[in-house]
Amino acid sequence: MVLLPALIRGDAVMKRRGSFALILSMLVATFSVRMAATEHPDLTGERLVVYISFHEEEGRRLLDLFQVRTNVDYTYLRIPTGELVARVIKEASAPQAHIILGGTADAHQLLANEGLLEKYVPSPAEHIFEKFRSPDHYWTGIYLGAISIGINENRWKREFEGQGVEKPSTFEDLLNPRFKGEIILPDPRTSGTGYTLLASLIQLWGEDEAFAYFRRLDQNVGEYTTTGFTVAQKTALGEYLIGINFIHDQLLVKKSGFNLSSTIPPGAGWEIGCVSMIKNSQSSSAAKAFLDFMTDREAGQLHTNLTERISTRSDVMTPLGAKPWAEIPINLDYDLYLAAKLKTKYLKGWEERVLRIN
């Protein structure tokens, strides 16, 4: 039996943290020395509820540091982006959380379009480029990520090396019939990663060409996952040869010791991962303080260290093994606002034209 490294496990359960491990204390002490001091309010007696849409361990570590800084009491729930959006919409009349941490900007923008997010401008956000922030102040980008092709190098060497098969480096390369059943993708109906892949290729190629492509690619797909990170996990473990998800997830499992290579294909879609405040929730002082905290350099550097993501702050170091954002061959014309506006249409097309669900 293969045991997953602790770093890549996660459970979608509500958890309350009251004590801190020694490693966290050492990490906080290190950050206290290396980072310039930032004023944080005393939130003793305040309670913060956070919906997390990236890896649970990373969210918990950030919340633990915020608790050290403010004495706030917190609770969190980790759920995939698509389910998170549906939950916030369902709870609109009586919000059950204050903060959405992580998830693609199109998901946050969809909730903003529905009138479910509160406007707020975190003071540290002045150090984040405007194009990575909501112009209407509903969400703030904290990290960036590009769609990437991940390959299990152990399996490739064992099964394909010397057979005249080129490693896939473009989206079209994934249609090779030799890869039948060996590709794993995130489901765009539940995963923000999957929806970014779908929406970006529709915008790049047009609906007819994109859906025709996904219909052909479906013949090679062995599994659609609920979350994007599961793609990196299962590819790293060798359950699948090829996985398509965000490059930072692939770099994270590679950092954990797995032999996974990554290639960002030309015209790749990309995300702005965001943080936002849910409208009409209580504890607004704690929520605003958390937004300030998450957009500051200290949290930005910790987040990058934990996740291999590229920060939206220029004063946070780029992860080792990641290219600077300006050198990545992404589709610069990808429009997240259009992706948010047309999400229902795009997903209906996915079900009817790719999965053939009527």
Q: Which of 1-15, 17-31, 195-209 has the lowest mean pLDDT?
A: 1-15
Which residues partner with 49 through β-bridges?
A: 75
Across the chain, mean pLDDT equals 89
% of the chain at pLDDT higher than 90: 83
What is the assigned CATH class of domain 6-144+271-324?
alpha beta
Q: Which residues contact 155 (CB under 8 A, 6 or more apart)?
A: 238, 241
pLDDT tens digits for range 294-315? 999 999 999 999 998 999 998 9
Q: Where are the beta strands (DSSP E) in the chain?
A: 15-16, 47-52, 73-78, 99-104, 117-118, 139-152, 183-186, 221-225, 242-246, 260-263, 270-278, 310-311
Tell me the pTM: 0.85
Contacts of 63 (CB under 8 A, 6+ apart): 17, 48, 50, 74, 76
pLDDT interval class at 233 (50, 70, 90): very high
Amino acid sitting at position 84: L
Per the model's pLDDT, the better-predicted residue between 32 and 3 turns out to be: 32
Question: Where does the chain hold its CATH 3.40.190.10 domain(s)?
Answer: 6-144+271-324, 146-270+326-354
pLDDT in tens, 311-341: 999 899 988 777 788 889 999 999 999 999 9
Token pair recorded at residue 3: 């045991």
Contact 263, 169 (CB under 8 A): yes
Structure confidence at residue 319 (pLDDT): 84
Residue carrying the six token digits 């039948």: 180
22: which 2 tokens?
């020694």
Residue 207 has pLDDT above 70, yes or no: yes
Angle at 303 between CA 111 and CA 197, to 5 degrees: 50
Q: Tens of pLDDT along 270-293?
A: 999 999 999 998 778 999 999 999
Q: If pLDDT is split at 50, 70 and 90, which confidence band does 358 have?
A: low
Cβ–Cβ < 8 Å for 104, 277: no
Fold for 146-270+326-354, please state it.
Answer: D-Maltodextrin-Binding Protein; domain 2 (3.40.190)
| Separation of alpha carbons 139 and 88, rounded Å | 15
Model confidence at 67: pLDDT above 90: yes
